């Protein structure tokens, strides 16, 4: 039907594989200050799954869509928007707070966007927004400065991979913990790399050869925050986590959402330019057609994605 589209959303809270479904819905119209795109690629994030589980239940009526990272082609423009035109290729964020569908759809409303630079494809573009924003905000909040030694724990995650590059751009000396999938790539960027798990404190200390000033935890929850505090010489305020908020509260560690942070989506366009120039990258593990969404969810939740998972609503 020409006035409807496909979208992945949930009508009740629960485990994502239990509550998500592929619906046919009316195509949304952009309100003031919004645009609509024909979605060419949509990046999936862990926040999609906690949303399904009810994390924003008090704020969001049901049904609700998933998919926050979007790249696509503008096909409608809301009142007051003057910086893009119909047919422009853009990347940015789906407006999941104000509608019953989000980016994992044939068409999506966007609340912030940047024109895609030449040389950047839709899949690469859709991998950027949340990973860049979360990593940049974490590095910025820690106050990383040139010459400091910074540990990025969980550097094989998309946020961690971004954080290593951002810290290196700032002139920091970076130590990264990561598995074998991206260890060599991280070393080629200029990071010193070791594995996580038992003995991590000793391995990082040996690798650093000097005090570690700051630590950014981008790993899934693993009970490692005590080790990170030890690595930074017992200063919990020199550690920031983007995931383990419960342990952070116990230990006095900073969190990415526990302070008065300003979202840093303003830098996404700059990093799109760096990516187009080959100076920045987020690894993409696999792409899926929209109707293959269940496989993407299962891989993401398994903890073995090893890179960004991207849905392709329109892969023409």
- Band (pLDDT 50/70/90 cuts) for residue 58 is confident
Tokens linked to 29? 């119209």
Contact present, 288 and 296 (Cβ < 8 Å):
yes
As given in the structure block, the two tokens for residue 229 are 């505090």
Domain boundaries defined on the chain: 4-127+283-312, 133-255
Residue keyed to tokens 């909040």: 141
pLDDT number for residue 259: 62
* Confidence label for 221 from pLDDT (cuts 50, 70 and 90): confident
- Partners of 89 in the β-ladder: 73
State yes or no: pLDDT of 303 exceeds 80. Answer: no
Cα gap 50→60, rounded to integer Å: 13
pLDDT-wise least confident of 32-41, 130-139, 260-269: 260-269
User: Which of 309, 259, 268 has the alpha carbon at shortest distance from 138?
Assistant: 259
Whole-number pLDDT of residue 258:
64
Q: Supply the pLDDT for residue 301.
A: 86
Confidence of residue 61 (pLDDT cuts 50, 70, 90): confident
- Tell me the per-residue pLDDT of 103-132, one tens digit each, with 9 for 90 and over: 999 999 999 999 999 999 999 999 999 999
Per-residue pLDDT band at 234 (split at 50, 70, 90): very high
Mean pLDDT, range 21-38, rounded to an integer: 97
Q: Quick check: 237 pLDDT over 90?
A: yes
Q: What is the mean pLDDT of residues 54-70?
A: 88
Q: Are 311 and 67 in contact (CB under 8 A)?
A: yes
Return the pLDDT at 316. Answer: 54
Rounded Cα distance, 19 and 8, in Å? 10
Question: Is residue 1 pLDDT above 60, yes or no?
Answer: no
pLDDT at 69 over 90: yes
Rounded to the nearest integer, the mean pLDDT of the chain is 94
pLDDT of residue 216: 98
Q: Which CATH architecture has domain 4-127+283-312?
A: Alpha-Beta Complex (3.90)
Kindly tell me if the per-residue pLDDT of 281 is higher than 80.
Answer: yes
Q: Residue ranges of the alpha helices (H) in 15-92?
A: 16-19, 46-52
Q: What is the DSSP letter of 263?
A: P
pTM of the model: 0.95
List the CATH code of the domain at 133-255.
Answer: 3.40.50.720
């Amino acid at each position: 039907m020409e006035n409807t589209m496909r979208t992945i959303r949930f009508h009740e809270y629960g485990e994502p594989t239990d509550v998500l479904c592929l619906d046919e819905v009316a195509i949304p119209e952009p309100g003031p200050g919004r645009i609509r795109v024909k979605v060419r690629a949509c990046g999936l994030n862990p926040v999609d799954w906690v949303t399904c589980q009810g994390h924003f239940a008090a704020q969001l009526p049901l049904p609700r869509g998933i998919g926050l990272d979007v790249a696509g082609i503008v096909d409608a423009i809301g009142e007051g928007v003057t910086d893009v035109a119909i047919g422009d290729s853009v990347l940015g964020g789906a407006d999941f707070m104000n509608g019953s569908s989000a980016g994992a759809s044939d068409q999506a409303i966007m609340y912030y966007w940047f024109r895609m630079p030449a040389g950047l494809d839709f899949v690469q573009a859709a991998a950027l927004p949340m990973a860049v924003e979360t990593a940049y905000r974490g590095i910025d909040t820690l106050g990383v400065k040139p010459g400091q030694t910074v540990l990025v724990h969980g550097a094989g995650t998309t946020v961690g991979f971004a954080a290593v590059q951002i810290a290196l751009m700032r002139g920091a000396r970076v130590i990264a913990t990561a598995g074998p999938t991206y260890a060599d790539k991280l070393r080629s960027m200029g990071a010193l790399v070791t594995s996580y798990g038992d003995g991590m404190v000793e391995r990082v200390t040996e690798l650093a050869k000097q005090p570690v000033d700051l630590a950014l935890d981008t790993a899934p929850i693993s009970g490692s925050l005590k080790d990170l505090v030890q690595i930074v010489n017992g200063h919990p305020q020199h550690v920031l986590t983007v995931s383990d908020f419960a342990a952070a509260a116990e230990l006095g560690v900073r969190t990415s959402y526990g302070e008065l942070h300003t979202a840093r989506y303003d830098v996404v366009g700059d990093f799109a330019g760096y990516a187009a120039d080959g100076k920045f990258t987020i690894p993409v593990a696999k792409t899926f057609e929209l109707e293959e969404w269940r496989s993407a969810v299962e891989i993401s939740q398994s903890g073995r994605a090893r890179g960004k998972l991207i849905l392709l609503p329109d892969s023409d």
